[in-house]
Amino acid sequence: MAEIGTAAALWGAVAASGVYHGVNPAMGWPLAVSAALMDRAQNSLWKALLALAGGHLAAMAAILFPFSALLLLAEWQHEIQTGAAWLVIALGLYLLWNRRHPRILARVPPTRLALWSFLAAMAHGAGLMLVPIYLGLCRTVETDAGHAAAGTLIGGNAGIAALVAVLHTLAMTAAGGALAFGVYRWLGLKFLSRSWFNLDLIWALSLVLVGAIALLTLH
């Protein structure tokens, strides 16, 4: 029962992280509003959200699947988990020091929302933050004392990595989509200009916190 509760809490953390990203304007939902207003068509909002979700999902996969492959080295699992935690902390500290958005994002044309979303997620460490959570999920997969056969380990971890990426992206798209639709349909641009909020500082601190928690749970 304790193991089930731990797994449920970890999956909840993955979903909560997705909602957090979806609410954060830096992940792109205002671009969906802009697309709908420029085209004067509600369908453009959904197309933009789909493109943003695709780019975000690609960023999740680019981060999570390499760690899935690394977990094949079972004897190095502790070192991999420790290294991942330090990477998350290092990125959080860097974002606290450098508060400016990457200039490359401003150079991506509005017609390439999927590419913009991919680069934004990578730059903000969206996938990297999930690595300690993902490694925790992997520990809930039952293996024998010598670890399961390589084929079983590959299949299980790759499958979990895919589920983590999909769940996170769905939660992000739902949260960001709800805000985008509300602004486009009812609230309007005046609300957006008056109520703009920036979660970058909280995001950087949360990266440091997640990495620190991951380190503490390993020792």
- pLDDT tens track for 189-209: 777 767 666 677 777 888 888
Q: Which residues of the chain have pLDDT under 50?
A: 143-155
Pair 113, 55: CB distance under 8 Å: yes
Distance CA 28, CA 17 (A): 15
Helices (H), the chain: 2-23, 29-39, 42-70, 77-97, 113-123, 126-139, 150-182, 188-194, 200-218
Model pLDDT, residue 139: 61
Model pLDDT, residue 74: 57
Model pLDDT, residue 9: 83
Model pLDDT, residue 203: 78
Distance CA 46, CA 181 (A): 9
Tell me how far CA of residue 40 lies from CA of 24, 34, 185, in angstroms.
Answer: 24, 10, 11
Model pLDDT, residue 152: 41
Distance CA 37, CA 139 (A): 46
